Amino acid sequence: MRVVVQRVAAARVEVDGGISGSIGAGLLVLAGFEASDADADLDWMAAKLTRLRIFADAAGVMNRSVVDADGELLAVSQFTLFASTRKGNRPSWSRAAAPELAKGLFERFVLRLEANLGRRVATGIFGADMQVHLVNDGPVTISLDSRQPE
């Protein structure tokens, strides 16, 4: 499982001219899944994201998590995080989980995020053509991979 997480002042996802999910200050999480992902990957990533200390404390030091900062989460499924460009210029998506599998993984991941955050997590619409709008705060952008924990 891979994610790109961005600390945001605000973010929203639009689908067909309507807003499917929006948040104020918090984290925008773009999440990609591969067929071999398991519950352990989802658990690790949800815990890491909700404990990641990238919000400023009173001294201005990144020392608080999204939970500590009372921030919100917006999760968007994004299979393109598993793009391979080794051969030629057209990306291959062969490592990305098939849509039927990825949808279930995404839904279970959101449930884990909600459990760790203690409240609802906003989302995009799985498989839809989405427009993601964000105000990146910092900017702070971090990529994480459950198979290469750092």
pLDDT at 149: 79
CA distance 48 to 112: 11
What are the Cα distances from residue 109, in Å, to 14, 59, 85, 139?
A: 21, 33, 27, 25
pLDDT at 150: 73
Q: Phi, psi at residue 51, to the nearest 5°?
A: -105, -10
Q: Pseudo-torsion of CA 109, 110, 111, 114, nearest 10°?
A: 130
Q: Domain map of the chain by residue range?
A: 2-143
Residue type, 67: V
| Full pLDDT tens readout for the chain, 150 residues | 999 999 999 999 999 999 999 999 999 999 999 999 999 999 999 999 999 999 999 999 999 999 999 999 999 999 999 988 888 899 888 889 999 999 999 999 999 999 999 999 999 999 999 999 999 999 999 999 998 877
Name the residues annotated as catalytic: 78-80
Fold of 2-143: D-tyrosyl-trna(Tyr) Deacylase; Chain: A; (3.50.80)
